[in-house]
Amino acid sequence: MIKISEVRFGDIVVAEYEGQQREGMVKDVDRPEGKALVEAAGSEFWYEPQELYPIPLNDEQMRKLGFTKHENGDGSAKYMKDSFRVLLPQNGNFSNLEIWWREDHRYLTHPIGVHELQNHYYQMTKVELMPVVVY
Label each residue of 10-48 as H, E or C: CCEEEEEECCEEEEEEEEEEECCCCEEEEEECCEEEEEC
User: Residue 59's pLDDT is what?
Assistant: 97
Pairing relationship of beta strands 12-17 and 52-53 according to DSSP bridges? antiparallel
> Domains (ranges, CATH) in the chain?
4-53 (2.30.30.140), 59-125 (no CATH)
14-65 confidence digits (pLDDT tens): 999 888 999 999 999 999 999 999 999 889 999 999 999 999 999 999 999 9
User: Residue 134's pLDDT is what?
Assistant: 55
Separation CA 107–CA 92 (nearest Å):
16
User: Residue 21's pLDDT is what?
Assistant: 95
pTM score above 0.85: yes
- Sign, CA torsion 19/24/30/34: positive
In this model, does residue 135 exceed pLDDT 90?
no
Separation CA 135–CA 133 (nearest Å):
6
79-104 confidence digits (pLDDT tens): 999 999 999 999 999 999 999 999 99
